[in-house]
Structure formats: structure tokens, C-alpha cells
Structure 1
Amino acid sequence: MTTDEGLRLDAVEISLGTRRLLTLDRLVPPGQTLSVMGPSGSGKSTLFALIAGFLDPAFTATGRALLNGRDLTGLPPERRRVGLLFQDALLYPHMSVGGNLLFGLSARVTGRSRRRAAAEAMLERVGLPGHLDRDPATLSGGQAARVALARTLLADPEALLLDEPFSRLDTDLRQTVRQLVFDLVAERQIPALLVTHDRADAGAAGGPIVDLGAGAAS
């Protein structure tokens, strides 16, 4: 691994007015997940927004976020190549599962048959073969979460940002889906940042943990 690979938070500091919310200087290597914990208002979601490119102008940020050597500062969200997963699957209800996946699929994959094959292969990878024509309204919570993950990965992101993506799943589904997410992060060798209130989720990620509330890292 070169020093350019991964997600680097280079002396990032975020403030709201005169109150400093967080200071973070970290490298998240390819295949690793950095978990950021802390109470509401500690700056977790603000850090997520800074990296993704939609930081509220009420906040002030200094430092840089670099992804594989590219400075993300000033780039529009669509050019950052950062995949996002949220608490809700946020599938488009007017599209089939396949329509959702093809919408997210990278434009670098061309040709109708090749694009469909890529969507089908990703569905199989997340354990949902044969679901291409399903209506999202008929999916369980765990199935919808896996479709959202598939759609995100089909965009070929260079990093993943995870904002409490397991919090609305029951215990068994939570363990299954989060293991799938972390396995795919390692398999695809992309850095990931997990924002969570749940220490079990952070522990399952297997990477370092930054606790903003405690001012400690492990």
C-alpha cells in the first residue's frame, strides 16, 4: 500500500460557531472500517457530511479529506466517488429492484445485456438471486438493506460512508447484514467510515474506533 491509498482525514477540524466539535487526523487503509462513535451533537454526522460533500454552511471545517490521493475539498458530491448507506434503504419506489440497481450502476459498464448481468451478479453476491424484477415494496427490511448495499457498490465507489445502516434491523438481520457489509469492504479493498451509537456494530467492523464523547481512540 502506498501513502496515497485509502481515506485520509488530514488535520480535520469541524466547529459550530465558537464550539469545536471534533478534531481528527486518521488514515483509513483500503479494506478497513474506521468506526466513529459519540453522543448526539458530538460531530459524527457532520464528519460524514464533510466527506460526502454536503456539509451544512452553518459549520466551519478546516483540514482536508483525501481519497486515494485526491483532495475531495471543493468537489461536488457526484465527483467524490464515495458510496453512502443510511438507516433507511431509500430505494426508489417507482422502480423495480433491477431499476434501482441499474440507476446506480457505473456508466463505465455499457450495453444493456452487460449492465443487466452486472446487476444480477451483484444481487447474487448479496444473497438475493432472482430478485431483479421485484417491487421494493415487497421486500423485507433485511432484503431492502441488501439491495441498497448492492446499488451503492454497483456505482463502483472508492470509499463507503455508513450512517447507522444497521440500526433499524432486528438482531439476527443486523448481524447478517453488517457482516456482509464488512466482508464486502474487505473483499473490494475500499476504506469505510462507520458512524454509529452501537459499540457492537463498531466492534463487528474490526477496525479502529474513535469515541468522540470520550475523547479516546482504540
Structure 2
Amino acid sequence: MSRPLIGVTAYLEAARWGDWVKEAVLSPASYARAVEKAGGAPVLLPPLGPGGAGAYVRGLSGVILADGGELDPTLYGAAREDRAGAPQPHRDRFELALARAAVRSGLPLLAVGRGMHVLNVAQGGDLIPWLPDVVGHDRHATPGTHLVQIGLSSGLGRVLGDRVEVTAPHRQAIRRLGTGLLAVAWADDQIVEGVELQGHRFCLGVQWHPERTGDNRLVEALLEAARP
């Protein structure tokens, strides 16, 4: 049986190897390893332009919108946040187009960290541009673990149960949900940490990093949905 092709979004950055410094397509190896372990074939998707999103979707069995730097707040009508990293407009535009194309086509999609924010904005929602200002603490930005409560009747709950311990450092968060998205997981201060798209065969977003742990159930669920 052939392995389903799973696209993984990636950075386009300058990288050094040997005496060379060249623009390169980069992705943490943990995504590729998680896809391979679940029975898929990972394919890196360089953010070369939004016009290629439809072609990717037609050739893939599923997509992972990977984590990365903060989404540019001007894309959802907020002021640019100086405390965030420099905007990456090429990646933002490409991933928004990819998310919309995947939703339109019904392609199985798992959105991780920044990827969940991309999915929400692609569906017309918005974000909290700098979360510590709203919740009054910086616990969400720390690399430690915390418990997330999950709605048991949700697709996410059917995969993971009603709670999971996660690592989810982030300084942006969902404020207003995009069209068709449901909040299905929350931190103890009620910040949304998981969403799913109603009526889609598999479209989940999580704030945490399933690819960094030994628990590969979410990636396995993506692959199950991606198989014919």
C-alpha cells in the first residue's frame, strides 16, 4: 500500500552549511518523523506564493499547517505588534491560501500552534495579538507543560480523551472564532487551545505540539482520514 502524501508547511530562510549561506526551505525534523511514523510520506511545502496552494491541495492526501512565528496582526485588522517577531508576509499569504484551499476541497488538515491561528484567520476569525496583555500573566509563553481540557463529544476528544498534558508556548491566541470553527479545548484560564471545523471530515487545530512528544495519536488520526 502506498503511503499518503502529507504536506508540511515550512520556512523559507537563509541557512548555512559548509562555506555556503543560501536561501533554504526549512522545517523541524519532528514533523517529518511524526508523519513517517504514522505511515505517511512527508512533503515540505515552500511558501513561494499563494498561487500554488491549489496545486498542492490537488496532489496531497493531507496537510499539516506547522508552527512558526506570529501571524501578522494586520491580516485580521489589528495593529502590528512590535514585541512579536518580524512579519513573514510570504509565509502568511501562502499558508492562508493553503488553509482556504484545503477547507474548500475537504482535504484532511491538522493545524499546529501558529497553524491553528492561520486556520482561524483564514476562516474569518481574529486573534489576540499579544496574549500576556489580556490574561495578565506570561504562563502561556513558558516551555513547561500544562493540562488542557477537551470536549469529549468533539473529534479531538474522541482521539485524545477529555484532558491531555501539553507543551504549548505561545503569545498569540484565538479571540473570535472563524466561520464554522468550534472551540473544543481550553487552558485553565479558558484560552482556546483546540478547534475543529464543522462538517469537514478532518480539520483540527491545536495550540500545542503533538509532533514533539511520544504521543502520535493526532498525526495518526490525520493519516487515517487521509487514506482512501
Same fold (TM over 0.5): no
Q: Which has the higher strand share?
A: 2
Q: Which has the higher contact order (CA 8 A, sep 6+)?
A: 1
For normalisation by structure 1, the TM-score amounts to 0.29
Q: Larger Cα Rg: Structure 1 or Structure 2?
A: 1
